[in-house]
Structure 1
Amino acid sequence: MILRDIDNNRKLMERLGYLSASQNLSHAYIFEGDACVDKELLANCFIKAILCEEHQGEGCDSCISCNKINHGNYEDILYVAADGKSIKDEAIEELQGRLQKKPFFGDRNIAVIKQADTMTVRAQNRLLKTLEEPPRGTILILLSENTENLIPTILSRCVAFRVEPFETPEYGQIKENAQELVRMLLNRDPFYALKAKLGQVAEDKDAAMKLLDGMELIYRDLAIANTRESRNYTKESIYRAVEWIEEARRDLQRGMNTGYAMKNLMIKIGG
């Protein structure tokens, strides 16, 4: 997949295409989007547009660089992810050491920090040193669900973009699962059936957060639609469902057991 294949974000794709084609690049970006948005896929598409040997500004998915990125073995692209619930200071320290070294393959080191909003405050303050004085050619891409968890000094040194949901096989499955649960709740299916469905589609926190995003999008669409389906709901019931979904999301972020939080949500919406 390349930038032009990403839908529902036309202006953002045009902007990223222009930046990568002109090579007028910042040293740091933030891609913020819901859990159901494949922000890592977007980051890789942006990197392909920057590094592509055939179609800079877009990517080709066939040159050596694009193929390396697709297979996750481009030597100068570094990925950092949460260890448990957070990204710790040691992980950022290790990243900084690698960024000080010359690139192996090209002329840039690029770091993608997944779940950047889970960085501890100490890790964020350490990263700030790199944002203030980045090694030559370095690009940092921070992926975040909620930039409010990032300290202001990091936000001020990054170019931030909001990413809307776009079609991928995973996102299609998330929507399908969310639509099925919303339908089951409307039909007042028995709790054991809801519980069984949750066991299939929300077995861990990550899957549950994506499912919550999908359900919230469905309810928000119902709130503005005028269809046979939307007429099964009152505005009040839709707004309550969205509030309960947001409450479940906060519960998960605070560390509540995934199964308990999701079952509690089903009970509240299902009545």
Structure 2
Amino acid sequence: MAMTWDGLEQIQPAALKMMKNSIQKSRVAHAYLFEGMRGTGKKDAAKLLSKALFCENPIDGFKPCEACLNCKRINSGNHPDVHWVEPDGLSIKKQQIKELQEEFSKKGMESSRKMYVIDDAEKMSTGASNSLLKFLEEPGAQTVALLLTENPQQMLPTILSRCQIITFRPLSPEFFIKQLVENGIGPDSAPLLAQLTNNVHEALELNAQDWFAQAQKIVVKLYEMLKKNPLEAMVALQGEWFQHFKEKEQIDRGLDLLLLVLKDLLYIQLGKQEQIVFKKESGRLEQFALQTRTRSLPDQMAAVLEAKRRLHANMNPQLLMEQLVLKLQEGSSFV
């Protein structure tokens, strides 16, 4: 079912207000950049803006009616004057932008207005970016461009400067937890998943994975080993961690989980047990919290964040994890 204007307005009021003002004041820009993390409603907003501009019977002058032929065709991806461009493989190619330009050189099929949406716009190749830049510099009178991105910093500054930027904020954990529970995720699992993603589909996938369930146990066990001695922790690394966290993305996920364990320990020590996310491990974490000095936890969190940075800078994962374990033990200050 398509997201409604009122539904998205609940989670992205500022973004929807900017869109509404543009439509009501007849100041629709030639190009918009919707930026924000995955799952914050950028695609839904792109469809809503498309429908608002093509709707035959807009409600209050700006909300799509969802019932006319144009609204229905945009929902099904079949409107002849609304074009979506997505990565072909790992990137958006120059040829895709060239074909878009050729399409837009023709007159609109049913009206003078035309619209194109470029999803994952940061994945445009250099050639595609330069072609799009020329396209943005000479917009048609009734042409609207929508660029969607999670990483605007990876795009050409000259493209960004030609767009009106609308930021989509991360969903509040409380709202997202409620969404997850409504989608069948247990109340013990939802808080943890809400810290790892803003996307319901991704959360459902993670929740169903045996790999993810095992990953949580391994991360908690590694922290337990850290309290014993360096050898125990290194054995845990070699025996379980490296066997389970093999790909770069998996290691990154493991470090995120380790960071959440440390946050939970801090919450317990501050008497905020209701905020912990490892609900299923609360008993063990309370024991760990009793054995850990509060002042050591911020240093340990900083060490994990530094490990994440080094991982993305392509440091050898095995060396990285061994150094992290030693660092965590140096600054652990266990009672």
Say which SS state the counterpart of residue 199 (structure 2) adopts.
helix
Superposed, which structure 2 residues align to 1:69-88 within 5 Å?
69-88=74-93
Structure 1, residues 106-129: CA drift from partner, whole Å, max 9, x if none?
331111111111112221111111
State the one-letter code of the partner of 2:160.
L
State the one-letter code of the partner of 2:78.
N
- Higher normalized contact order (CA 8 Å, seq sep 6+, divided by chain length): 1
Q: Which residue, out of 178, 195, 200, partners 1:172?
A: 200
Residue pair 1:3, 1:45 contacting (<8 A) in 2 also? yes
Q: 1:47 and 1:235 mapped to 2: Cα distance?
A: 46
Matched, 1:32 2:22: no
**Cα 1:36–1:241 shift into 2, 3 Å:** farther
Q: 1:25 and 1:265 mapped to 2: Cα distance?
A: 49
Residue pair 1:40, 1:143 contacting (<8 A) in 2 also? yes
State the one-letter code of the partner of 1:126.
S
Q: Which residue, out of 84, 90, 97, partners 1:92?
A: 97
**Equivalent pairs: percent with the same residue?**
26
Structure 1, residues 99-146: CA drift from partner, whole Å, max 9, x if none?
111111333111111111111222111111111111121111111121
Matched, 1:22 2:25: yes
Structure 1, residues 167-204: CA drift from partner, whole Å, max 9, x if none?
576823534638968854553288899899989xx9xx
Matched, 1:114 2:106: no
Q: 1:60 and 1:197 mapped to 2: Cα distance?
A: 50
| Structure-1 residue corresponding to 2:141 | 136
Q: 1:265 and 1:3 mapped to 2: Cα distance?
A: 46
Give the superposed CA RMSD.
4.1
Residue pair 2:121, 2:148 contacting (<8 A) in 1 also? yes
**Cα 1:51–1:185 shift into 2, 3 Å:** farther
Residue pair 1:79, 1:114 contacting (<8 A) in 2 also? yes
State the one-letter code of the partner of 1:25.
V
Q: 1:37 and 1:266 mapped to 2: Cα distance?
A: 32
Residue pair 2:39, 2:200 contacting (<8 A) in 1 also? no
Larger Rg: 2
State the one-letter code of the partner of 2:124.
M
Structure 1 residue 165, shift from structure 2 partner: 3.2
**Which consecutive residues of structure 1, in runs of 5 or more, have no partner in the other structure?**
none
Alignment coverage as a number of residue pairs: 253
Residue pair 2:218, 2:240 contacting (<8 A) in 1 also? no
Residue pair 1:53, 1:65 contacting (<8 A) in 2 also? yes
**Which consecutive residues of structure 2, in runs of 5 or more, have no partner in the other structure?**
184-197, 223-235, 278-285, 329-335
**Cα 1:64–1:265 shift into 2, 3 Å:** farther
Q: 2:214 and 2:143 mapped to 1: Cα distance?
A: 44
Structure 1, residues 227-268: CA drift from partner, whole Å, max 9, x if none?
2227859233334444444555666xxxx9xxx98x999999
- Normalized against structure 1, the TM-score is what? 0.73
- Normalized against structure 2, the TM-score is what? 0.61
